[in-house]
Amino acid sequence: MACNFVEGSTCSDEKIAQLRQTLAAMGVDCIQIDFARNVLKVGQNLKAYRQTRKLVKLNHYNLIHSHSPIGGLLSRLAARDLRKQGTKVIYTAHGFHFFNGAPLLNWLIFYPIEKISSRWTDVLVTITHEDYQLATQKMYAKKVVYVPGVGIDTQSFLSDSKTASLREEKRKELGFTDQDILMLSVGELNKNKNHEVILRAMAQLGNKRLKYAVAGRGILKDHLEQLASELGIAEQLCLLGFRSDVRDLFKAADLFAHPSFREGLSVAVMEAMASGLPIICTEIRGNVDLIDNGKGGFWFHPADVNSAAQALKNVVSASDRQSLGDYNRKKAEGFDIKVVLDTMKDLYQ
């Protein structure tokens, strides 16, 4: 496995160390490549390209499977000559940066990158139906396939005899009561994750029982706390920082919110579905693949506080809130890791 283990990841250092140990035990080499997270870091990306080209020339791989716009571009560029010798190249697009409603700049930068590099691709894997349609119409890859995300272990999120006591303990630990309606989000505190629209929707509803817990860290922490204070809902917001107990948080929650501007196919949403939570989410690519509006939750526009407030109200006041969650739990089975692994095995073979 060749990637940037040092920077650019949202995982903790402990998780990265555990991953490397697991891979080593499986006999998988871990190779540091200094991929930048930003396409504008030209010097770092040139270094990463040289590292990647050297790696593939030394090892003459039979198969190369790349991910992310930058890693995908550099690895496919580095493997051009090897493809002439029989090496197969797979690229998984975890949500194109260009999509319906995306900023023009995204189309100007990332669309040409993906289109050009698709010429050096044997199989292009997409994880949303919108991306699949776009790729089949616009890209040059020899083959385009749809795979339902990276997959989750749905069984690990099911309720059991300990769920009720665990829910009570976790809510008590976090400072929430049985009377609180606990809404959870999981993700970085950044502009794209768009937690601000949820805070403004909460202020509009004025329901003091409604509490909002966000698991994640990021540059907007102070801004979100200040905004909550200005909106008069500071007591209803709980920024949890990085958490290693997300499964337990799902059990403690009453509903899940996913207000992003852009997503591929969100693992957090899939996990919330498998946990049996009703979900409010933005009507964007990926989210609409997962959540059926009015059946598993409700959609809203990412920049529309009124529609976010209405979606939130629909779930909070729903007499059949549990049925929304049950619908999601059933649908999550289609995104189970076993489904994804079977699809990928067929693809590799």
Question: What CA–CA distance (Å, rounded) separates 80 from 64?
Answer: 11
Quick one: pLDDT at residue 163? 86
CB 149 within 8 A of CB 268: no
The 10s digit of each residue's pLDDT in 177-227 is: 999 999 999 999 999 999 999 999 999 999 999 999 999 999 999 999 999
pTM of model > 0.85: yes
Mean pLDDT over 232-256 rounds to 97
Q: Would the pLDDT of 294 be above 90? A: yes
Average pLDDT over residues 263-284: 97
Out of 1.20.1060.10, 3.40.30.10, 3.40.225.10, 3.40.50.2000, select the CATH number for domain 48-146: 3.40.50.2000
Q: Cα–Cα distances in Å, from 12 out to 5, 145, 153, 220, 251? A: 11, 32, 21, 19, 22
pLDDT band at 316 (very low <50, low <70, confident <90, very high): very high
% of the chain beyond a pLDDT of 90: 91
For residue 303, pLDDT beyond 80: yes
pLDDT value, residue 343: 93
Q: Which residues, 6 or more positions from 33, have their beta carbon under 8 angstroms from its beta carbon?
A: 2, 3, 4, 48, 51, 52, 55, 71
> Considering the chain, what percentage of its residues have pLDDT values greater than 70?
99
C-alpha 148/C-alpha 336 separation (Å) is 9
pLDDT (mean) for 86-112: 93
Average pLDDT in the chain: 95
Secondary-structure class of domain 154-334 per CATH: alpha beta
Q: Are 260 and 284 in contact (CB under 8 A)?
A: yes
Note the pLDDT of residue 111: 95
CB atoms within 10 A of CB 271: 23
Where do the CATH 3.40.50.2000 domains begin and end in the chain?
48-146, 154-334
Render pLDDT for 115-172 as a digit per residue (tens, 0 to 9).
Answer: 999 999 999 999 999 999 999 999 999 999 999 999 999 999 988 878 889 999 999 9
- The whole-number pLDDT of residue 330 equals 98
> What pLDDT shows up at residue 266?
96
The reported pLDDT for the residue numbered 295 is: 98
Q: How confident is the model at residue 38 (pLDDT cuts 50, 70, 90)?
A: confident
Residue 10 has pLDDT above 80, yes or no: no
Cα–Cα distance measured from residue 135 to residue 115, given in angstroms and rounded to the nearest whole number: 9
- Side-chain half-sphere of 215: how many Cα atoms within 13 Å? 22
